[in-house]
Chain A
Amino acid sequence: MISNAISIMIAVPLVGAVLAFLTRSRGQARLVALIASLVPLALALQMYTEFDKSSKLMQFVESYNWVPSIGVRYTVGVDCISFPLVLLTAIVSVLVVIYAWGENHRPNQFFALLLLNEVGVLGVFTALDFFLFYIFWEIVLIPMFFLIGIWGGPRKDYSAIKFFIYTHVASLVMLLAIFAMYFTYRLPDGSRTFDMLTLLQATSDKTVFPPGLINAIFAGLLFGFLVKMPAFPFHTWLPDAHVEAPTAGSVVLAALLLKMGGYGIFRVILPMLPHVDKAFVTVIAVIGVLSIIYGAFLALAQKDIKKLVAYSSISHMGFVTLGAVAFTWLSIQGAMFQQFSHGIITCALFMSAGTIQHSVGTRIISELGGLADRMPKFASLMLAAFLASLGLPGMSGFVAEFMVLTGSYATFPVYTMLVVFTSVGVTAGYHLWACQKVLFGPILKKYLDIHDPHAYEILAMSAIVFLTLLFGLQPALITDIMGTAAHQVMEPVVTLSQMGVI
């Protein structure tokens, strides 16, 4: 294996972003973007072959002194928690570049920003030093701000600024919590550290972190992550951002940025869970359940297909919250798989919405109808994506949600049944209703001259549908890793009942 694989993975898109920015034509820009995003994918696949799925340790670790005077190191590495997300980022980034192949409004900036986004997200998933983690966490906001603001819809100014400020404030709350850990804990030699694993380990020490402090730190971090996910009631920035963002932006936002919040839950929140007030468990579970149900009902009420998809994201990310906090081996594994699976499926959903917008000129469901007649290839892909999203067995979404629900039942029987009986039906309902209304029925007269979208859009969507099926039929390809990760998280305490929560 190439040494410094992770650093190269982060550096190549960064250099690519600069180069893409300097290009003069669309052809050059997209070629640079494609190459620069293929390199991390190749590295990630290479890492996959060498990754030890049974190890609970960090792998491919690199660590250098960065700002020694205040205890900051450049440390990156992946373990079973983060590796699937690195893989997801690498895959999605390539597909987004392919999907956006035809972008002709300031293409050099567009592709540069997509690459910069990849840099930030990869950094978040691999950083093992809170200082570094926070830097990447914030860098991500900048390309997304411009993607929404420059290529967005009619209310782009408002949405871009709202997105930035809302999520930045959440990040600052998270930063305060990080500060609190950093300033409270000292290494045995008296110095301070930002090392994530050391600090998280230290939070179990009741003499260093008294209960009041640890609860405050926990709440701060949790807030930062829940806003990013986004969970009810902190979700209000999301629909605005999604609706106004260009398709590629929406895809990156839903497939990667939301995953940062989920990743924070697994990386930071779960290891601290045994040491904080037990009431948090219930609060988080309720937030998860409400996100699932409320998101589904909101999606049901939408007239715009993109808004529908946006709200469905809130619902699907609720499974991550619920599964994580149910804290059984199966539920954690399911929640992690849901992160991965939703990351893929949502690409296809937003690409569907985007393609409809590009081809037909509107996303209002009531103004659409019978598109399958003129766009057969697209229609089959969109149908597959929507079926995957509603949880059709055989596709990855089903496996993930099934695992979460089965695993959570042991901990939260009432909540789980509530989710099963309300949201599952509603979810199926709005997905099928939207597909039926948009794709089937008689074709409307005004749409007689539309046709299947460009080959690159079909290519990107097909790849995603293929992955959805692949991971639906052979989930072990990636759930092996998550199983180890779940063990790793639960190792200190085996279940919630042993923690004294239930």
Chain B
Amino acid sequence: MDLGHYAPLGAEALLTAVSLLVVLVGLFTKGRSSLPGYLSLAALIVAMWMVLTAETGTVFFYDSLRVDGFSQFFKAVFVLVSLLVVIASLTRYNGRPGGDEYFALLLMATVGMMVVASAIDLVSLFIGFELASLSTYAMAGFDKTKKNLEAAMKYFLYGAASSAFMLFGFSMLYGMTGSTKIADIAGASLAAFNPAILIALIFVVVGFAFKMALVPFHMWAPDTYEGAPALVSALLAAGSKKMGFAAAFRVILIALLALKLEWYMAFAILAAVTMTVGNLVACWQNNVRRILAYSSIAQAGYISIAFVVLGVASEGMTGPNNLPLDQYALAGGLLLVLGHAIMKTGAFISTAQVASIAKNSEDPDDISNYAGLGRRAPVTAFCMTIFMFALAGIPPTAGYFGKFVVFGSAIYGGLVWLAVLAILNSALSLYYYLRIISYMYLREPAGPKISESKGYVLSLLLALIGTFWIGVLPDGFFNWAMQAAAALLP
């Protein structure tokens, strides 16, 4: 066997090996060593480098995994999110009993997501999905408080249901086309229209929609994000949710090309309802993590606009500078995915910082704990403020640029109503983001000044740099996203 051939999968192999190693280290040191955290950190940094430099365009394991620009983009997002979460987790979990398991699960989850990004076969896709899901189910209940367990339970039940839907859809597709290869299914569905494919499609969409937390399949997300340990919520909202998008882009786009018209309308409605409901409900929340959860639902709605545009984009439709419209829309979706991953990770890590200092409180994430944070924890508050403005789409940040491309693609595609609705939603979202900011800076402090944990601060600053980097110098990221999109489109 020529091992060199598998070099593009090196990042996955490395992370898998290190996750096993971490468990061993934990076993021999009874979980008291601080080695697991640093090992994971080093592994993720190396993995990031491997992902970015991997040779693309290769297919592995009997056409079931493909390393291309698209998978590379998503893998970079996943590794980045895990990296930020690991840095923040060092102070919280490293060297504590159970810490080794935490880091091992986190690496496993990352590998699962990376497999999904590469999967071009329904079976490997499902395996990746389940690997990531099972790891994160365990992580959601990691601190074993009552809230944790409830969150983990809800997440598990909904996740299992979504897997079941998805698997049923897959099995129907397999039954009708005789193949689990996404490309074969695409060919078969193009060749002959079969109404049963539509039913399969509905099941698959429902399965993915759970993961992406699109309305009305979003119910679990606020409860889970609120109840899970905050750092795990960061991983869920920024990482495993994006896994849903990675899968949906690949499967729906390619496999069901023939049914374009049907799914474009479905996604238009899903997107419109998702962003509106997400934003409206967020205005009513008093728990910051719930606000972030609903905001992340709304953001999923914005990203879904890319699906809709892909549905209407026909041959020859172009965006700016004669770029093909479908590629432009998909690139916009990818930019939103990347930007949202960074901003949301940062925002959830900020909540983790606040929760760690909100002592003697029934609800550590209640917005009242954020009063005067600007003076109690200046760095956290400052970063959180930037993330809030960025999520609201205020320039010059990642949030603005991503929205600019996606909303613009909707206008190009003739979906002006959707673009207008999205922009109005953006304005609406400002209300709850400003509310958090106003608590942090406009209220009297709710407690004494505290020392901010170094791990959290480092991770927040990295996310902050990312947020501005994409916003101020978007060209490189845009071109990268365009290449990633080109790799996926037929």
Given the complex of chains A and B, what is the CA–CA distance between A135 and B404 in angstroms?
A: 12
Whether the Cβ atoms of B423 and A68 lie closer than 8 Å is no
Given the complex of chains A and B, what is the CA–CA distance between A83 and B482 in angstroms?
A: 40
Whether the Cβ atoms of B475 and A68 lie closer than 8 Å is yes
Judged by a CB distance under 8 angstroms, whether A31 is at the interface is no
Given the complex of chains A and B, what is the CA–CA distance between A182 and B409 in angstroms?
A: 12
Whether the Cβ atoms of A135 and B321 lie closer than 8 Å is no
Whether the Cβ atoms of B408 and A169 lie closer than 8 Å is no
Judged by a CB distance under 8 angstroms, whether A294 is at the interface is no
B394-451: which residues lie under 8 A (CB-CB) from chain A? 394-396, 400, 405, 407-408, 411-412, 419-420, 423-424, 426-427, 430-431, 434-435, 437-438, 441-443
A190-210: which residues lie under 8 A (CB-CB) from chain B? 190-192
- In this complex, what residue of B is CB-closest to A136? B395
Count of chain A residues with a beta carbon within 8 Å of a chain B beta carbon = 34
- In this complex, what residue of A is CB-closest to B478? A69
Whether the Cβ atoms of A138 and B395 lie closer than 8 Å is yes
Judged by a CB distance under 8 angstroms, whether A145 is at the interface is yes
Given the complex of chains A and B, what is the CA–CA distance between A41 and B395 in angstroms?
A: 26
A83-140: which residues lie under 8 A (CB-CB) from chain B? 134-135, 138-139
Judged by a CB distance under 8 angstroms, whether A149 is at the interface is yes
A contact face: mostly helix, strand, loop, or mixed: helix
- Which of B320, B394, B405, B435 interacts with A161 by CB under 8 Å? B435
Q: Which residues of B contact A190 (CB under 8 A)?
A: 321-322
- Which of A138, A183, A191 interacts with B394 by CB under 8 Å? A138
Judged by a CB distance under 8 angstroms, whether A175 is at the interface is yes
Q: Which residues of B contact A176 (CB under 8 A)?
A: 419-420, 423
Whether the Cβ atoms of B320 and A156 lie closer than 8 Å is no
Judged by a CB distance under 8 angstroms, whether B145 is at the interface is no
Whether the Cβ atoms of A191 and B431 lie closer than 8 Å is no
Judged by a CB distance under 8 angstroms, whether B479 is at the interface is yes
Given the complex of chains A and B, what is the CA–CA distance between A170 and B134 in angstroms?
A: 46
- Which of B423, B426, B431, B482 interacts with A69 by CB under 8 Å? B482
Given the complex of chains A and B, what is the CA–CA distance between A172 and B437 in angstroms?
A: 21
Whether the Cβ atoms of A157 and B442 lie closer than 8 Å is yes
Given the complex of chains A and B, what is the CA–CA distance between A172 and B394 in angstroms?
A: 10
Judged by a CB distance under 8 angstroms, whether A71 is at the interface is yes
In the assembled complex, the CB of B416 is this many whole angstroms from the nearest CB of chain A, namely: 9
Given the complex of chains A and B, what is the CA–CA distance between A149 and B400 in angstroms?
A: 24
In the assembled complex, the CB of A217 is this many whole angstroms from the nearest CB of chain B, namely: 13
Judged by a CB distance under 8 angstroms, whether A279 is at the interface is no
- Which of B323, B411, B426 interacts with A172 by CB under 8 Å? B426
Given the complex of chains A and B, what is the CA–CA distance between A159 and B85 in angstroms?
A: 37
Given the complex of chains A and B, what is the CA–CA distance between A145 and B438 in angstroms?
A: 9
In the assembled complex, the CB of A119 is this many whole angstroms from the nearest CB of chain B, namely: 12
Whether the Cβ atoms of A172 and B423 lie closer than 8 Å is yes
Judged by a CB distance under 8 angstroms, whether B203 is at the interface is no
Whether the Cβ atoms of B431 and A161 lie closer than 8 Å is yes
Tell me the B residues contacting A by CB distance below 8 Å.
Answer: 320-323, 389, 394-396, 400, 405, 407-408, 411-412, 419-420, 423-424, 426-427, 430-431, 434-435, 437-438, 441-443, 474-475, 478-479, 482
Known: A70-B320, A161-B434. 4 other contacts (CB 8 A): A168-B430, A172-B426, A191-B322, A192-B320
Q: List 19 A-B contacts (CB under 8 A).
A: A69-B478, A70-B321, A70-B405, A70-B478, A135-B396, A145-B434, A149-B441, A157-B443, A168-B427, A172-B423, A172-B427, A175-B423, A179-B408, A179-B419, A183-B408, A183-B412, A191-B320, A191-B322, A192-B320
